[in-house]
Amino acid sequence: MESAKLKQFVIDKVEDLKAKDIVTLEVSELSNLTDYMVVCSGTSKTHVKAIAENLVVECKRANLKIIGVEGREGSEWVLVDLGDVILHVMQDKTRDLYELEKLWSAKPE
């Protein structure tokens, strides 16, 4: 699946579980690891984990390759790596602390 379609697939699946504040970052010019990052919030550890797990289940159902999943244990921040798209699901306080949108939107000097 091309990266733009994969990005939309990820957004659709996190929206299915009512993820909050979904932001898409195109990072292909900044990283050779991925084209897009999707960042969203969950309302609790359970919600964060459920959003990520739903994406994993739907990827398997669609025969999409999952490179890795990190953070399930604590569920403050769960990352799902699909290669061309990486999903970050965070609780609000963790998202505020790390400010991924600000970090990845900065222009290199």
Per-residue pLDDT of the chain in tens (109 residues, 90 and over written 9) = 799 999 999 999 999 999 999 999 999 888 889 999 999 999 999 999 999 999 999 999 999 999 999 999 999 999 999 999 999 999 999 999 999 988 887 655 5
- The pLDDT of residue 30: 83
C-alpha 13/C-alpha 95 separation (Å) is 20
Structure tokens at 107: 């222009």
**Per the domain annotation, does 38 fall within a domain?**
yes
- The pLDDT of residue 106: 61
* Residue 68 belongs to domain spanning: 3-103
**Per the domain annotation, does 109 fall within a domain?**
no
Assign 23 to helix, strand or coil.
strand
- The pLDDT of residue 79: 98
**Domain CATH number, residue 29:** 3.30.460.10
- The pLDDT of residue 107: 56
Count up the domains in the chain and report the number.
Answer: 1
